[in-house]
Chain A
Amino acid sequence: MNRLVRSVRDGTGFDILLIGAALLFLIAFAGVPLVYNVLMSFQQVDMFNLGTFFRPLVGLSNYAAVVAQPEFWLVARNTLLFVVGSIGGQFVLGFGLALFFARDFPGAATIRGLFLVSWVMPGLVVGAIWGWILAGDFGVLNYMLRQLGIIEANIFWKSDPSFALWAVIIANIWLGLAFNMLLLSVGLHGIPRELYEAARVDGANAWQRFWHITLPVMRSTIGAVLSLGLIATLQQFDLFPAITEGGPANSSMVSQYWAWQASFKLYDFAKGATISVMMLVLVLLASVVYVRSTRHEVRG
């Protein structure tokens, strides 16, 4: 008895207790809802059995119904474009900024810190601000583009099917830029200076130093940034209700907003669950890449 108490206070028992608590939380708040969601995607759900766990099973018919929706392929294409566009923009601009601020000019650290403002702000606020910036008739962006002579007539960012998705992508790039820059800055900071000095002595130019030193050393950081970016982008929800609501004519509809619309606007909970399970598979793939890339980091 005494040994057990001692072990719990300071020993393996304590470790097990800590792990157990963490596991319990994970199972209760991530595991159970996940299983519930997956189960729901194979069930027939209506308002009478909403509160129960076991409902009539319907096999794959929810999946068939989702794929049969006329907008399914449009949503799939939009989601892909949103992910690739957002991550691409965030990563390239974030990397550029990280390299820029790595040059240690006066005030570099302070200005870099200020970039975090965009990351700290809630998505709905960012969405509302971008909603005003991107407004059609009286938006700031249109005014600037007109004054600069880039456009003749106003671009209706939120209401033109060819621009709506890009409007959200632009806002999302701005939102995720700081996070990308920060992680990449940390990675850059970890590269030993001697490597660059040695390369310079050997006559490598800036591009060669970047291509042969920076990129290979940053491999694991880049892998982590990209997979975290993928997860964050697939979870990006707040910007859609605030800017385009998936419109016009579903031209900016992505799967995460679509799932929400099915469940909480059309009250078709099974379909909403089905869409989110389809997305889950994607996020799972990203998580595997993330875990692998960070494991490499620990070993290296």
Chain B
Amino acid sequence: MISRRLTLLGALAMATVSTLTLPALAEPVKLTIWGLDGDNGLIPALAKEFDDNNDDIVVEFRAIAFDELVNEALKAFATNQAPDIICLDNPDFALFSSRGAMLDITDRVAASSVIKTDLYYGGPLASAMWDGKLYGVPKATNTIALFYNKDLFAKAGIAEPPTTWDPLVDAARKLNDPASNVYGITWSARANEEGTFQFLPWIQMGGGSFKEVNTPGAVKALEVWKTMLDEKLGSQDVLSQGQWDSTGTFNAGNAAMAISGPWELGRMAADAKFDWGVALLPTETEGGPRSSAMGDFNWGIFAATQHPDESFRAIEYFVSQSERLFPEFSNIPPRGDIPLPSTGDARKDAALAVFQEQLKYAQPRGPHPEWQKISKAIYDAVQAAMTGQMSPKAALDQAQATIKGIVG
């Protein structure tokens, strides 16, 4: 009886040892990658290609909705079930990188022959950095600029799109035509991240930053926004609608100017029954500091990964495909060295050239681990001022007090 049990145990032990060692050499490494669903299928396509091209690696991809991405990542991190690689929206990246949740890839990138940081735009790269170290690689980028309806401009006798704030308001006044349901301008001052995305560049052009939001220039910017709303040069609904709906009214010919991004180009080319163009965001004064918003996602590797080498190889592969980003997935590469091929539509090509110029001035939101709270302080101030509950100065002073409590 005893001897039989011993042999059984022995066999069991042998079996365990052999499953642990021998086949492990042949077994492929499993990489889990989490990313956004949608986005023209870019992330799942690249993940699948990397899986197919590498026999020693199996990729398990999970698509997550935009609103769930950070919450899922937080939960997974807290319970030690984080994926190897994640693609996060750039303002959320610091939440993880600043607290050691992401792998420091500074040295790996320095040694890499594929990823060259000096090719990247400053804004996207800064969003992947924390405390001088690199924790991620920008996936793609986007920004905002001023769309304008050339037909309505000609009708109002305005030759060139406005380049500074005061002429912008003047142009909106001239273009505004309530009788024909045309607003002078449309944008988004919504009470969420979109509102901050649109207003932060104005703070920066006004000499401020996300840490200093009540500079005289920033106050002037909010006064400009309030003026445009008070004089009904834009719809009251800029307070509640996002950029997509807002630009929809521009495409329908119900607004003569719109502040929005390159993600609109496809829809605009199809929907707009008029001639349109894009100009750089107007600055406070002629030749004054430029700025713009910066969107899109960063690749990062969780520090807890068992396979840092394979994970980095995956990111190198994604970066190596940068030239396909625009033609195949309508994503703008986060670097200036890749020429965008012609789309076959002269207006779109001209617009893309302006956006690429604007990208040089695009600045990240943060990076800061508590970005969402800073962002809330900013959009709350915008809303409080535009609804007349506070003066622009008082609203931004209050936001500054809140932000000071967060950034110290």
- Bound complex: CA of A258 vs CA of B332, how far in Å? 35
Contacting chain B: which of A118-126, A155-163, A286-294? A155-163
Q: Is the CB of A249 within 8 A of B191?
A: yes
- Bound complex: CA of A246 vs CA of B192, how far in Å? 10
Q: Is the CB of B237 within 8 A of A136?
A: yes
In the complex, which of the residues B75, B376, B383 has the most CB atoms of chain A within 10 Å of its own CB atom? B383
- Bound complex: CA of A181 vs CA of B389, how far in Å? 39
Given A156-B236, A248-B240, A51:B380 Cβ within 8 A:
no
Residues of A close to B70: CB separation below 8 A: 267
Q: Assess whether B155 is interfacial by the CB under 8 Å rule.
A: no
Given A136-B237, A245-B190, A267-B95, A50:B383 Cβ within 8 A:
no
In the complex, which of the residues B181, B235, B238, B398 has the most CB atoms of chain A within 10 Å of its own CB atom? B235
Q: Is the CB of B99 within 8 A of A137?
A: no
Residues of A close to B235: CB separation below 8 A: 136-137, 156, 159
Residues of A close to B16: CB separation below 8 A: none
Q: Is the CB of B372 within 8 A of A265?
A: yes
Q: Is the CB of A48 within 8 A of B99?
A: yes
- Bound complex: CA of A44 vs CA of B312, how far in Å? 35
Q: Assess whether A266 is interfacial by the CB under 8 Å rule.
A: yes
Which listed residue, B71, B78, B376, B386, touches A248 by the CB 8 Å rule? Answer: B386
Q: Is the CB of B191 within 8 A of A246?
A: yes
Residues of B close to A266: CB separation below 8 A: 372-373, 376
- Give residues 363-408 of B contacting A (CB, 8 Å): 372-373, 376, 380, 383-384, 386-387, 389, 398
- Bound complex: CA of A50 vs CA of B72, how far in Å? 12
Q: Assess whether B120 is interfacial by the CB under 8 Å rule.
A: no
Residues of A close to B74: CB separation below 8 A: 47, 50, 267
Q: Is the CB of A51 within 8 A of B78?
A: yes
Q: Is the CB of B95 within 8 A of A159?
A: no
Which listed residue, A70, A244, A268, touches B240 by the CB 8 Å rule? Answer: A244
Which listed residue, A51, A159, A249, A268, touches B79 by the CB 8 Å rule? Answer: A51
Residues of A close to B380: CB separation below 8 A: 249-250
Q: Assess whether B249 is interfacial by the CB under 8 Å rule.
A: yes
Q: Assess whether A171 is interfacial by the CB under 8 Å rule.
A: no
Which listed residue, A48, A244, A249, A267, touches B387 by the CB 8 Å rule? Answer: A249
Q: Assess whether B239 is interfacial by the CB under 8 Å rule.
A: yes
Residue of A nearest to B388 (CB): A161
Q: Is the CB of A268 within 8 A of B373?
A: yes
- Bound complex: CA of A45 vs CA of B112, how far in Å? 38
Which listed residue, B75, B78, B372, touches A48 by the CB 8 Å rule? Answer: B78
- Bound complex: CA of A51 vs CA of B75, how far in Å? 7
- Bound complex: CA of A247 vs CA of B78, how far in Å? 32
Q: Is the CB of B254 within 8 A of A137?
A: yes
**Contact string against B for A residues 81-116, beta-carbon threshold 8 Å, 1 for contact and 0 otherwise:** 000000000000000000000000000000000000
State the Cβ distance, B244 to closest chain A Cβ, in Å: 14
State the Cβ distance, A68 to closest chain B Cβ, in Å: 11
Given A70-B398, A137-B249, A248-B386, A47:B240 Cβ within 8 A:
no
Residue of B nearest to A264 (CB): B71
State the Cβ distance, A181 to closest chain B Cβ, in Å: 31
Q: Assess whether A79 is interfacial by the CB under 8 Å rule.
A: no
Q: Is the CB of B236 within 8 A of A159?
A: yes
Q: Is the CB of A158 within 8 A of B191?
A: no
Given A47-B101, A137-B249, A247:B383 Cβ within 8 A:
yes
In the complex, which of the residues A47, A70, A159, A267 has the most CB atoms of chain B within 10 Å of its own CB atom? A159
Q: Is the CB of A137 within 8 A of B376?
A: no
Residues of A close to B101: CB separation below 8 A: 47
- Bound complex: CA of A50 vs CA of B76, how far in Å? 10
- Give residues 99-141 of B contacting A (CB, 8 Å): 99, 101
Which listed residue, A135, A137, A247, touches B190 by the CB 8 Å rule? Answer: A247
Residues of A close to B192: CB separation below 8 A: 245, 265
Q: Assess whether B326 is interfacial by the CB under 8 Å rule.
A: no
Residues of B close to A265: CB separation below 8 A: 192, 372, 376
Q: Is the CB of A247 within 8 A of B75?
A: no
Q: Is the CB of A248 within 8 A of B181?
A: no
Residues of A close to B240: CB separation below 8 A: 158-159, 244-245, 247-248
Residues of A close to B249: CB separation below 8 A: 137
State the Cβ distance, A198 to closest chain B Cβ, in Å: 56
Given A70-B398, A137-B181, A248:B75 Cβ within 8 A:
no
Residues of A close to B50: CB separation below 8 A: none
State the Cβ distance, B195 to closest chain A Cβ, in Å: 9
Q: Is the CB of B254 within 8 A of A49?
A: no
Q: Assess whether A251 is interfacial by the CB under 8 Å rule.
A: yes
Residues of B close to A50: CB separation below 8 A: 74-75, 77-79
Q: Is the CB of A249 within 8 A of B237?
A: no
Q: Is the CB of A267 within 8 A of B191?
A: no
Which listed residue, A248, A267, A268, touches B239 by the CB 8 Å rule? Answer: A248
- Give residues 188-240 of B contacting A (CB, 8 Å): 190-192, 235-240
Q: Is the CB of A251 within 8 A of B237?
A: no
State the Cβ distance, B82 to closest chain A Cβ, in Å: 11
Q: Is the CB of B99 within 8 A of A47?
A: yes
Which listed residue, B181, B237, B376, B389, touches A161 by the CB 8 Å rule? Answer: B389
Residue of B nearest to A71 (CB): B380
Residues of B close to A70: CB separation below 8 A: 398
- Bound complex: CA of A136 vs CA of B235, how far in Å? 8
Given A159-B237, A247-B190, A248-B191, A47:B372 Cβ within 8 A:
no
New A-B contacts (8) at CB < 8 Å, excluding given A47-B95, A136-B235? A47-B74, A47-B78, A50-B77, A50-B78, A245-B191, A248-B240, A264-B71, A266-B376
Contact sample, A vs B, 27 pairs, CB 8 Å cutoff: A47-B77, A47-B78, A47-B99, A50-B77, A50-B78, A51-B75, A51-B79, A135-B237, A136-B235, A136-B236, A137-B235, A156-B235, A159-B240, A161-B387, A245-B190, A245-B191, A245-B240, A247-B239, A247-B240, A248-B386, A249-B383, A249-B389, A264-B71, A266-B373, A266-B376, A267-B372, A268-B373
The residues of B with any CB-CB pair to A shorter than 8 Å are: 67, 70-71, 74-75, 77-80, 95, 99, 101, 181, 190-192, 235-240, 249, 254, 372-373, 376, 380, 383-384, 386-387, 389, 398
The residues of A with any CB-CB pair to B shorter than 8 Å are: 47-52, 70, 135-137, 156, 158-161, 244-251, 264-268
Closest 5 CB pairs of A and B: A50-B78, A51-B78, A247-B191, A156-B236, A249-B383
